[in-house]
Every structure is written in C-alpha cells, then in structure tokens.
Amino acid sequence: MNRIAGAFWLSRPGLGEIRTADLPEPGDGEVQVRTVYSGISRGTETLVFRGGVPENQYAAMRAPFQEGEFPAPVKYGYLNVGVVEEGVEELVGRTVFCLYPHQTRYVVPAAAVTVVPDTVPAERAVLAGTVETAVNALWDAAPLIGDRISVVGGGMVGCSVAALLARFPGVRVQLVDADPGRAKIAQALGVDFALPADALGERDLVVHASATEQGLSRALELLAAEGTVVELSWYGDRRVSLPLGEAFHSRRLTIRSSQVGTVSPARASRSYADRLALALDLLADPALDALITGESAFDELPEIMPKLASGDIPALCHRVRYTERA
C-alpha cells in the first residue's frame, strides 16, 4: 500500500508549494483515503492564502485536520472526496467526504469520514461542506412558507443558500449580485436574479454573503419592517461600517450572525454528523453542478491558488482533480 502522499501547503502568504508526506499505517478504527477530488472555497481559502486571518480568530478558523499555524506555513482546506483504500473493513472501497486539506492520500479516524450516497457523484460531493453551511444558515434563518427572500452575494455560499431556498414552498427567492454573469447560475438554480440597484425591496428575510460593506448595507435596505438579515460573510481582518442610523431602529430591523462552526441552536438536538449527512443527501440535485465553475489538476495548485486569490480566475467552487502519483 502506498504510504507516500503529496500535500499542498501555504509556505508564506501568497506562495504555495507541494510537499511530500509520509503516512502511518491505519490503526484500529482508522482508514486510509485516496483523494479523487477536493474543492477550493474561493472566499475562505483565498483569504487564508493572502494571510488575512486575524490573530484573534486563529483558533476559530482552524480546519479539522489543519497542520501548521496561521498565517503560514499551514496546510489548510476542508472539501475532500476520496475512496477508502484500507482500514475499517465496511468502508473499504466506499466513496467518502472528509473535512481534509488538499492531499493525495491521508489517514484519519473512520468517524471523520461520511459515506457519499450513491445518488451523488464524487465530482459534486466536494460541495458538501458549503451546502452544510447553507443548511446551518437556514436553520438559523427559519424561513416561512410564502416568504419574500433575497440572497445578497452570489458566491459559493450564497448560491448554495439560494439553491436550497428554491425548494421551499411558496418562497420567492431573488439572488442579488454585482456580477451580471451570476444570472446564468441563478437560472440554473431556479431562482430570480437582480443587480443590486434593481433588487426587489420589502423582503421578509435577506441572507447576506457578499463579504462586502456595500452588500450588507444593501441587504438592510431591502428589508421590510421587522425584517432580518442573516449575515454569513467572513470579513477576516477588515472592518465594516453600517448605516445603523437612518431607518434601522424605526423599522426595527435585525442583523443575525450565522456560522457553521456551531450547529444552529434551533437544531440543538442534531449533531455535526447529522448536518453533514443531510447536506450530502441534498447534493443529489444536479442543479448544484452550476456551483462548480472550474477544474485543475492537484499538481497545478501552486500556480492556480494565486490566480484564484487575485480574481484572475473567477470562481465559485474550483474543483481539484487527483490522479495516481508515483
């Protein structure tokens, strides 16, 4: 069995490299996984790549199997799909999802992997971590039948939220983004689209995921009286100014944070494993393929990551393809 792996590391902010790792033999209750695909969540991972994680958030931002420390050198990532090669017998040969960085092979406790349903192709399963974030956000938001809802920010998380909301009965969903190119993705997901200036107002609920000050301000403007903005954006070390004068108090508006690191208190009886399993079940919908906007080989990551971070490669989820290495 191959005990050598290649792993992508951020050697310093803005510079990545492939390093070699020696793997241990799987012990009792462990599995060795051969990665077939991983995914890059452009928002969070490019922020890490740029070295933009604030010192007071180092612990909160730590990925489950991260090695090294922020800002660098660090091995970071959390969207990994692979095939179990060795270890717990009933898992050998199964396709699994794991919150593991970009690495060709790895050994983890069997409890850290979730079997991908047969209805979900491995190529799409890399979205599981982001759809899990959307599930948690909607547990926090608690949309009601017939609600008028906008999602401001058509990135990977915002589009995942919009895709799930499209299934709610009677809900009228509009995806709002400054990039007119997001209109095609909105159409594929089955929701309306608008540029910020043209967005519908009097919304019962707005989910904000643009990670911009302008987007959050616009989200507040779109609310009906007593409405709520659920804030999903991660701003890293940037400060944000908000118009909390004007009509904020007279219209009794609410801003509520949502963060995937904690299971929503509205579903306190559910475990992290329950939430991830639900996300994987929801990925049976082929419409979600619209969130994967590019693909490259694992060995190309040192060249691809700077382009994703700079925006030279526009992306929602960029998929990484793995082949056997000598």
User: Measured in whole angstroms, how far is the alpha carbon of residue 280 from the centre of its chain?
Assistant: 13
Provide the domain limits for residue 16: 4-127+283-321
pLDDT surpasses 60 at 147: yes
> For the chain, what is the largest distance between any 2 Cα atoms, rounded to a whole number of angstroms?
66
- DSSP letter assigned to residue 103: B
pLDDT at 325: 54
Query: How many secondary structure helices (H) and strands (E) does the chain include?
Result: 8, 17
SS3 call for 137: helix
pLDDT surpasses 60 at 27: yes
pLDDT at 306: 96
Whether residues 90 and 8 share a domain: the answer is yes
SS3 call for 161: helix
Residue 275 falls within a domain, yes or no?
no
Whether residues 161 and 242 share a domain: the answer is yes
The count of structural domains within the chain is: 2
pLDDT surpasses 60 at 129: yes
pLDDT surpasses 70 at 68: yes
Mean pLDDT to the nearest integer, 80-88: 98
**170-184, 218-232, 258-272: least confident range:** 258-272
pLDDT at 326: 38
Whether residues 142 and 255 share a domain: the answer is yes
Mean pLDDT to the nearest integer, 37-49: 90
pLDDT at 111: 96
**7-11, 50-54, 142-146, 281-285: least confident range:** 50-54
* Per-residue H/E/C for 169-183: CCCEEEEECCCCCHH
pLDDT more than 70, % of the chain: 99
- 240 near 39, Cβ under 8 Å? no
Measured CA to CA, the distance from residue 267 to residue 263 in angstroms comes to 7
Q: Which residues on adjacent β-strands are paired with residue 35?
A: 82
Whether residues 106 and 172 share a domain: the answer is no
Whether residues 134 and 218 share a domain: the answer is yes
Whether residues 222 and 203 share a domain: the answer is yes
Whether residues 181 and 249 share a domain: the answer is yes
Q: Where are the beta strands (DSSP E) in the chain?
A: 4-12, 15-22, 30-41, 67-68, 74-75, 80-87, 95-98, 105-109, 113-115, 148-152, 172-176, 192-194, 203-208, 223-231, 254-257, 292-297, 317-321
Mean pLDDT to the nearest integer, 8-35: 97
What's the mean pLDDT when you consider all of the chain? 94
Residue 32 falls within a domain, yes or no?
yes
pTM: predicted TM-score of the whole model, two decimal places = 0.91
Whether residues 108 and 121 share a domain: the answer is yes
Residue 274 falls within a domain, yes or no?
no
Mean pLDDT to the nearest integer, 275-290: 96
